[in-house]
Amino acid sequence: MGYYNRNYPPNPHRNSKKKRGWLVPAMLGVIIGILLVVVALPALSNSNFLPDQWAGQADNNNNSNDEANIQTYDEGNNVNTSVNVDVSTQITEVVEEVTPAVVGVINIQRQGDFWQQQEESSQAGTGSGVIYKVEDGTAFVVTNQHVVQGADTVEVVLSDDTRIEAEILGGDLFSDLAVLRMDGSEVQGVAEIGSSENIKVGEPAIAIGNPLGMMFSSSVTQGVISGTQRTIPQDFNQDGRADWQAEVIQTDAAINPGNSGGALINISGQLIGINSMKVNQAAVEGIGFAIPIDAAMPTIQELEATGEVTRPYLGVEIYSLDEVPQSEWNNTLNLPEDVEGGVYVWSVEPLSPADEAGMEQLDVITQLDGEPVMNMIDLRKILYQEKEIGDEVVVTYYRDGEQAEATIELGSQ
Tell me the DSSP string of 75-101: TTTTEEEEEEEE-S-HHHHHHHHHGGG
Going through 18-162 in order, the beta strands assigned E by DSSP cover 67-74, 79-86, 102-113, 118-135, 138-143, 153-157
- Considering 86, 108, 141, which residue would you say is the last residue of a domain? 86
Q: Is residue 245 located within the same domain as residue 299?
A: yes
In a domain, residue 1? The reply is no
Rounded to two decimals, the pTM is 0.71
Q: Under the phi-then-psi rule, with left for phi > 0, alpha for psi from -120 to 50, and beta for the rest, what region is 171? A: beta
In a domain, residue 5? The reply is no
- Considering 47, 65, 86, which residue would you say is the last residue of a domain? 86
Residue 47: what residue type? S
Q: Is residue 232 located within the same domain as residue 323?
A: no
In a domain, residue 10? The reply is no
- Considering 183, 216, 241, which residue would you say is the last residue of a domain? 183
Q: How far is residue 310 from each of residues 121, 302, 348, 378, measured CA to CA in Å?
A: 32, 9, 20, 19
Contact 364, 398 (CB under 8 A): yes
- In this predicted structure, what is the pLDDT of residue 132? 97
In a domain, residue 333? The reply is yes
Q: Is residue 323 located within the same domain as residue 254?
A: no
| Domain at 153, CATH number | 2.40.10.10
Q: Is residue 164 located within the same domain as residue 234?
A: no
- What pLDDT, in 10s, does the model give residues 267-281? 999 999 999 977 666
Q: Is residue 365 located within the same domain as residue 293?
A: no
In a domain, residue 189? The reply is no
In a domain, residue 397? The reply is yes
| Rg of the chain taking only CA atoms, in angstroms | 35
Closest CA to 247 of 191, 300, 176: 176
Contacts of 314 (CB under 8 A, 6+ apart): 352, 353, 354, 359, 383, 395, 408, 410, 411
Domain count, the chain: 4
- In this predicted structure, what is the pLDDT of residue 59? 45
Q: Is residue 20 located within the same domain as residue 97?
A: no
Q: Is residue 269 located within the same domain as residue 362?
A: no
* Nearest-angstrom CA–CA distance, 38 and 270: 46
β pairing state of 263-265 and 204-209: antiparallel
Q: Is residue 201 located within the same domain as residue 296?
A: yes
Going through 300-363 in order, the beta strands assigned E by DSSP cover 312-313, 316-320, 343-348
pLDDT band at 287 (very low <50, low <70, confident <90, very high): confident
Which residues, listed in sequence order, are joined to residue 403 by a DSSP beta bridge? 398
Q: Is residue 102 located within the same domain as residue 82?
A: no
Q: What does the mean pLDDT of the chain come to?
A: 81
Q: Which residues are catalytic?
A: 146, 176, 260
HSE-up of residue 358 (Cα within 13 Å, Cβ side): 10
Contacts of 123 (CB under 8 A, 6+ apart): 106, 107, 108
Tally Cβ neighbours within 10 Å of residue 242: 15
Tell me the DSSP string of 182-243: EE-TT----PEE--STT--TTSEEEEEE-TTSGGGTTEEEEEEEEEEEEEEEE-SS-SSS--
In a domain, residue 97? The reply is yes
Does position 20 have pLDDT exceeding 60, yes or no? no
Looking at residue 337, the DSSP 8-state letter turns out to be T
- What pLDDT, in 10s, does the model give residues 342-385? 999 999 999 999 999 999 999 999 999 999 999 988 999 999 88
* Nearest-angstrom CA–CA distance, 181 and 8: 94
In a domain, residue 4? The reply is no
Q: Is residue 69 located within the same domain as residue 99?
A: no
Q: Is residue 127 located within the same domain as residue 61?
A: no
Domain that holds residue 405: 312-412
Q: Is residue 109 located within the same domain as residue 173?
A: yes
| Domain at 378, CATH number | 2.30.42.10
Does position 57 have pLDDT exceeding 70, yes or no? no
